[in-house]
Amino acid sequence: MTKIHPTAIIDPSAEIAKSATIGPYCTIGPRVHIGEDCVLRSHCHITSLTRIGRGNEIHPFALVGGDPQDLKFHGEPTWLEMGDFNMIREHATIHRGTGNGGGITRIGSHNLVMGNVHIAHDCIIGSHCIFANNAMLAGHVHVDDYANIGGGAGLHHFVKVGYCGFVGGMARVSKDVPPFMLAEGSPAAIRGFNHVAMSRIGMDEMELEAVKEAYKKIYRLRGGAGVTKIASLLRDFPTSKALRRIAESIRAINEGLNGRSLEVKRTDDKRAVRVVRG
């Protein structure tokens, strides 16, 4: 039987699983779905148009599914989707998507979102990620599985942090962070590779060596084209899945398929529309 505190305010259209727990003074808005075994501590606010999977725990004063902080948003129906077994700590804010940004913000499973973290509209978050206190993600940011974002870090809109990437505390990230790489500083630059996380998820020695060599050749050794360096690495480690992830990320960056290039394309598209309309 659902355990709902009598002070909670719940919209009639909300769907709450029988095994969920809703604490004191929580508010749940229209068209919200709360999955099995979820626990909402006191004073949580789930705004609207939000689907939350099973086993999630949301702590006091967190706001989940809020309206986007975007002047282009005019109340169109957009969504937030969250997977399973996420921990959302105090005062975190996670906003829905925007109509011109895909219409959805998506959070995977098994993520830890610490206090005061902000995840803006249209962000796509993988699974098993950690966001330390006060991390700030602007709109349209992508964070892949097993990434770690340090406290107080600021990620510019459209930035992508790759699989098992690491962003140091207080970093200002305005460019993509390829898989397995460690970015620090303001502005952030690649300063290492995420050996600790790679070991934790059980990557073998060959993969660790391949990523180490990729970091040295691409980011430490001067001279030579990046494409040539990657081709050489792929010859040296032909079976490395990690290296192929890195190569694909850098190829996508160079071809403008993800990251900040998408911001430029969006701006150009808007200018084209204005020209056509006169």
Active site residues: 121-122, 139
Residue 212: burial class (beta carbons within 10 Å; 0-12, 13-18, 19+) = middle
Torsions phi, psi of 195, nearest 5?
-60, -40
Sheet holding 188-193, edge to edge: 3-4, 21-22, 39-40, 57-58, 87-88, 112-113, 130-131, 148-149, 166-167, 181-185, 188-193
Q: For residue 261, what is the DSSP state?
A: H
Q: For strand 181-185 and strand 188-193, is the pairing parallel, antiparallel, or unpaired? A: antiparallel
Dihedral sign of CA atoms 180, 185, 189, 190 in order: negative
Dihedral sign of CA atoms 141, 95, 32, 18 in order: positive
What tokens were used for 183?
């970015």
Q: For residue 177, what is the DSSP state?
A: B
What are residue 193's DSSP bridge partners? 181
Give the Cα separation of 67 and 105 in Å (integer): 11
Residue 196, C-beta contacts closer than 8 angstroms, at least 6 positions apart: none
